[in-house]
Structure 1
Amino acid sequence: MWPASMPGSILHTAEVPAFDPRTGQLSLASHDLISAPLSLADVFPPEYTLLFDPSPSRPYGTSTSAADADQPAGQSRRKRRRLARPDETASPLDWIRHREKEATRSSTDKESDEHHAAIEAELGTAVEAVRAGWMGKGEDAWMGESKGRYEWREKEDEDVKEELDLVGLGERFAPALDEPPEPLLLSESRSTVSAAALFHRIVRNDGSSCISLDIEVDASEATPTSKATVILPPSSGFLLSQLATWPASAPSIASLGGEKGGWDVLIVDPPWPNASATRSSSYDTFDPYDLWKLDLPTMLGDSPTLVAFWLTNRVKFRRLLKDKLFPAWRIQQSAEWYWIKIASETGEPVWPLDAKHRRCYEGVLLGYYVPLGTKVDLPTLPQNKVFLSTPIGHSRKPFILDLLRPYLLPRDRPPNVLELFARMTLQGSFRRSATDEDGEGDQQKPGIFLAVGNEAIKFNIVDGSAAAGSVRGWLRRQEDTERVCAAEEAV
């Protein structure tokens, strides 16, 4: 059933003076510490524990493990030197390598460095203010109190079970028609469905309880016979589909939003090309210029919507969105925010802000989609807002609805959220108010959450046992978690 109230994921807010170039005046800028694990756990039914990859306990390069202790100090220094500008102790070979690297850097690389230099001081001030206000809360306080809602996945499990290949299945069950099939409305608390029946159509749970889907995959040379259980939370839906098929599905997405009163928030997390994704093979990247095929006005319909696009630190992708796509999609008042990734024990950035080889932050480009011919008073989006949290897995982002709430257009209902390139289907969101903190929030039905992507239910799969044929998942029922803890205590 619907909970009476839901806690927020914002742990602490610090305000610092900031110059507003739009008004030419000093103002107060708010920066936040959020719990990335709780941002997702709080919008998933409480009977399930969410599993995450462990966060780094300390900034990278400061580990005191035995493996690091065995590494010669000189070797470590030489590696760091080659990553940055050589100093006066560098060898002639180091300088030659540095000059060769500088000569091969592109103009966009240099522009990215210039962008970083322009914001580095402001990011540093925000980080110091947030950390100073939260320091002393305890080592675990940087993540937020678990209360059994989340835990860290044991790495040894990776060798025992494989994940369900949703991308491969989507390619196998390519749509045969130009128009997607009718939405699948689920009502039974548990049912068994074939994988083919779930792809390229909107699958919905409009009820107030979870629905368990046992997905069966027929045997083939490419895909062995397997069964995976997916949990579809209340007031949610998903569309397992790749970008090329979204134009045909755009009217159905708009129709669902219109049925619920309009989309209030659009979150987009594209799989931008980057070296880290290529090395880890954790997800398939795409051609960023394929975003021109994305018909956001048709998807969003007639409702003004707050749009949040996750970015990498490559300036050409920022230019593509800000200068080309946002105007084409009728998105106004763009602003960029920054997510600083911090270590779980110390709250320090996982890489120094002045590191040249890696950035400790990712950007979020925001704006308001305004339908053609619509006049509406838009809230003012702050520029360069900073929020800190621990990372929770490669390319896995915190759910930032709590940060976006103050900038939503006023509605008399909870927000409806659409996420593109999603990899987790979340429970529909409640409307937060001051009374929620006292557990006396209203009992209004939540908004709808729709996840669209070729892995839209990746993190909704229940973690199987060690038995043959079980799949690796990212959810565990609370009673199963309690049994695991009891067994560990007995040992």
Structure 2
Amino acid sequence: MPDSVLYSAELPAFDRATGQLSLAAHHLISAPLSFLDLSPPGSTLLFDQPPAHPYQQPVLVDDQPRRKRRRTALPSADASPADFAALRDKRDRQTTTDRESDEHHAGIALDLRAALEAVQQGWAGRARDEGWVGARDDARVQWRLREAQDERPELDLVGLAAAQERQTVETPVRLEPPRAHLSAAQLFNRLVLNDSSSSSTTVDVGIETSRVEPAPPALAALLFPPRSGFLMSDLSTWSAPSSGIAALGHAKGGWDVVVIDPPWPNASASRSSSYETFDAYDLWNLDLPALLGDKPALVAVWLTNRVKFRRLVKDKLFASWRIKGTAEWWWVKVAADTGEPVWPLDATHRRCYEGLLVGHYIPPGTKNVALPTIPQGKVFLSTPVGHSRKPVILDLLRPYLPSPERAPNVLELFARMTLAGPRAPSIDPLPPPEEGKAGTPPRCGFYLAVGNEAVKFNVLEREGGAVRGWIRQSGLEKAEAAACVPEGQDVERM
């Protein structure tokens, strides 16, 4: 079982498309642990502390719980005609998409509840000792207390990008571990790559210093793991050959999995100003087949609960992107101390879950390609670790990759953190090396993060630093990951 998967429960599932009964696996995953294998060696990751209890716990008044008024409660038997009239007017004001959203929720609520209860019951005994997070005692994970006020701002990547010339540079910047310096201009509109198979690179980011003496202090320091790269640009540039995304994928042996997490417009994001949203219909400008070429790939898109955007992806974009065998999964956010959903499952003003649409990209002209069947209705639980910050779901996607035994090359669009290229899954333990000979290192893939905030969570936390960071080096500036061999490269060339 992968390290990030804490528990799995199996339930009977009826496939409406085939009319067959099968077993469906649902999981509890550790969001912080899902990042660790793909993060820089010798580093500690900082996350927002997850909620200990559901957000709608009863409020205590004089040590007694005060019942909250249900937003959707029907008028009581002794209600006045005005109460019924108000409820009728409210229902009449519902839009078609509101009603479709309610119908969609009603159609999946029973399956969500069954999966949720099965995982909760299976993990309940171990939860007393291990909790629902799975990384409370891990030295490489630390929590930012919600009560603590950090007055320092985030590194304003969007503002920095706006100040630069919008000109794509086709020649990549190749980092040389352990340290490099980039001007703010060099961060944007070009590929920045750390091709090292084992070493991280610390990048000091500053303004151009050729005419300034002494050099001004760096704006921030960023830490990039081995086998990683990023492209800081916006959606309008990605599909063009000049972006380098397609060419890099081809050089690495093809993109095996694409994760897309669009910054869907919503009221919560607007209130918190935690990320910049976009016009969802700009996704028509994304030519995914041009990025993926002639090799099948697994594509996973995070959905919003707004039905018109869900329809856009499922009914329109997936067809234009040549994606087949589509399945819809759900991520349920649970509280760290209780394992309960952070919002009641029947709440209408906020949903405790987000959807994930998964399917296979089939290149033009491909015939009779054997691909793993993606199960419908998979549910996975985890605690949230920051506003809009998703768990890394590669462990859940691996079995459905076109080549599950391969170390995958990962392309993440609308990314907010640059991670390390994953290793090939170790199904059996490696045999001990022969005397006098080194063991064969595992294969490893590459990870490319693309988006206008693709390095947001790679900012180093520095005492006295001007900006807030999300990675802390643990006094091991030269820590290295275990050696591995990039896919497509012979061991002798290492």
Which TM-score band applies after superposition, normalised by the shorter structure? 0.7 to 0.9
What residue is the counterpart of 1:51 in the other structure? 46
* 1:11–1:32 Cα contact (<8 Å) kept: yes
What residue is the counterpart of 1:485 in the other structure? none
Residue 86 of structure 1 deviates from its aligned partner by 4.3
Give the Cα–Cα distance (whole angstroms) in 2 for the partners of residues 89 and 51 of structure 1.
53
Residue 170 of structure 1 deviates from its aligned partner by 1.1
> Which has a greater percent of helix?
1
* 1:241–1:453 Cα contact (<8 Å) kept: yes
Amino acid at match of 1:216: G
Residue 413 of structure 1 deviates from its aligned partner by 3.3
What residue is the counterpart of 1:189 in the other structure? 178
What residue is the counterpart of 1:472 in the other structure? 468
Q: Structure 1 stretches of 5 or more lacking a match?
A: 1-5, 481-491
Give the Cα–Cα distance (whole angstroms) in 1 for the partners of residues 81 and 386 of structure 2.
40
Give the Cα–Cα distance (whole angstroms) in 2 for the partners of residues 320 and 212 of structure 1.
40
User: Is the partner of 1:197 in helix, strand or coil?
Assistant: helix
Residue 240 of structure 1 deviates from its aligned partner by 0.6
User: Is the partner of 1:321 in helix, strand or coil?
Assistant: helix
What residue is the counterpart of 1:285 in the other structure? 277
User: Deviations for 1:33-90, whole angstroms, at most 9, x for unmatched residues?
Assistant: 10011111221134111111111111112167xxx5479966x62xx33455444476
Flag the 1:343–1:250 CA change in 2: closer, same or farther, 3 A.
farther
Flag the 1:341–1:92 CA change in 2: closer, same or farther, 3 A.
farther
Aligned match of 1:106 in 83, 95, 119?
95
Single out whichever of 368-377 and 437-446 deviates more from structure 2: 437-446
TM-score, L = length of structure 2: 0.87
Aligned match of 1:17 in 12, 21, 35?
12
Residue 7 of structure 1 deviates from its aligned partner by 5.4
CA RMSD of aligned residues (A): 2.6
Single out whichever of 80-89 and 261-270 deviates more from structure 2: 80-89
1:170 paired to 2:161: yes
What residue is the counterpart of 2:356 in the other structure? 364
Aligned match of 2:119 in 116, 124, 130?
130
Give the Cα–Cα distance (whole angstroms) in 2 for the partners of residues 436 and 40 of structure 1.
23
* 1:415–1:431 Cα contact (<8 Å) kept: yes
Flag the 1:129–1:447 CA change in 2: closer, same or farther, 3 A.
same
1:269 paired to 2:258: no
Amino acid at match of 2:309: F
Single out whichever of 111-120 and 138-147 deviates more from structure 2: 138-147
What residue is the counterpart of 2:192 in the other structure? 203
Give the Cα–Cα distance (whole angstroms) in 2 for the partners of residues 99 and 436 of structure 1.
64
Identity %: 56
Amino acid at match of 1:197: Q
Aligned match of 1:153 in 128, 141, 144?
144
Residue 22 of structure 1 deviates from its aligned partner by 2.6
1:52-131 equivalent positions in 2, closer than 5 A: 52-62=47-57, 69=61, 77=68, 80-82=69-71, 84-88=73-77, 97-131=86-120
What residue is the counterpart of 1:390 in the other structure? 383
Give the Cα–Cα distance (whole angstroms) in 2 for the partners of residues 438 and 473 of structure 1.
41
User: Deviations for 1:393-432, whole angstroms, at most 9, x for unmatched residues?
Assistant: 1110001000001101126630000000000000110111
Single out whichever of 86-95 and 299-308 deviates more from structure 2: 86-95
1:38 paired to 2:24: no
1:236-251 equivalent positions in 2, closer than 5 A: 236-248=228-240
What residue is the counterpart of 2:329 in the other structure? 337
User: Is the partner of 2:444 in helix, strand or coil?
Assistant: coil
Give the Cα–Cα distance (whole angstroms) in 2 for the partners of residues 268 and 209 of structure 1.
27
User: Is the partner of 1:247 in helix, strand or coil?
Assistant: coil
* 2:132–2:339 Cα contact (<8 Å) kept: yes
1:141 paired to 2:134: no
Residue 182 of structure 1 deviates from its aligned partner by 0.8
What residue is the counterpart of 1:446 in the other structure? 444
User: Is the partner of 2:131 in helix, strand or coil?
Assistant: helix
Give the Cα–Cα distance (whole angstroms) in 2 for the partners of residues 359 and 437 of structure 1.
44
Flag the 1:392–1:439 CA change in 2: closer, same or farther, 3 A.
farther
Give the Cα–Cα distance (whole angstroms) in 1 for the partners of residues 242 and 299 of structure 2.
16
* 1:250–1:299 Cα contact (<8 Å) kept: no
Amino acid at match of 2:297: T
Give the Cα–Cα distance (whole angstroms) in 2 for the partners of residues 434 and 51 of structure 1.
31
User: Deviations for 1:176-203, whole angstroms, at most 9, x for unmatched residues?
Assistant: 3xx5331111113112211101100010
Give the Cα–Cα distance (whole angstroms) in 2 for the partners of residues 119 and 238 of structure 1.
37
User: Is the partner of 1:241 in helix, strand or coil?
Assistant: coil
Flag the 1:23–1:156 CA change in 2: closer, same or farther, 3 A.
closer
* 2:345–2:351 Cα contact (<8 Å) kept: yes
Single out whichever of 407-416 and 324-333 deviates more from structure 2: 407-416
Flag the 1:72–1:330 CA change in 2: closer, same or farther, 3 A.
same
Flag the 1:89–1:231 CA change in 2: closer, same or farther, 3 A.
farther
Flag the 1:357–1:245 CA change in 2: closer, same or farther, 3 A.
same
* 1:34–1:389 Cα contact (<8 Å) kept: yes
Aligned match of 1:229 in 221, 241, 255?
221
Aligned match of 1:253 in 225, 245, 249?
245
What residue is the counterpart of 2:202 in the other structure? 212
Residue 131 of structure 1 deviates from its aligned partner by 1.0
Give the Cα–Cα distance (whole angstroms) in 2 for the partners of residues 421 and 330 of structure 1.
20
Single out whichever of 194-203 and 182-191 deviates more from structure 2: 182-191
Give the Cα–Cα distance (whole angstroms) in 2 for the partners of residues 368 and 317 of structure 1.
20
* 2:42–2:474 Cα contact (<8 Å) kept: yes
Give the Cα–Cα distance (whole angstroms) in 2 for the partners of residues 412 and 204 of structure 1.
25
User: Is the partner of 1:137 in helix, strand or coil?
Assistant: helix
Give the Cα–Cα distance (whole angstroms) in 2 for the partners of residues 250 and 383 of structure 1.
37
Q: Structure 2 stretches of 5 or more lacking a match?
A: 210-215, 434-438, 477-494
* 2:177–2:200 Cα contact (<8 Å) kept: no
User: Is the partner of 1:284 in helix, strand or coil?
Assistant: coil
Give the Cα–Cα distance (whole angstroms) in 1 for the partners of residues 325 and 8 of structure 2.
24
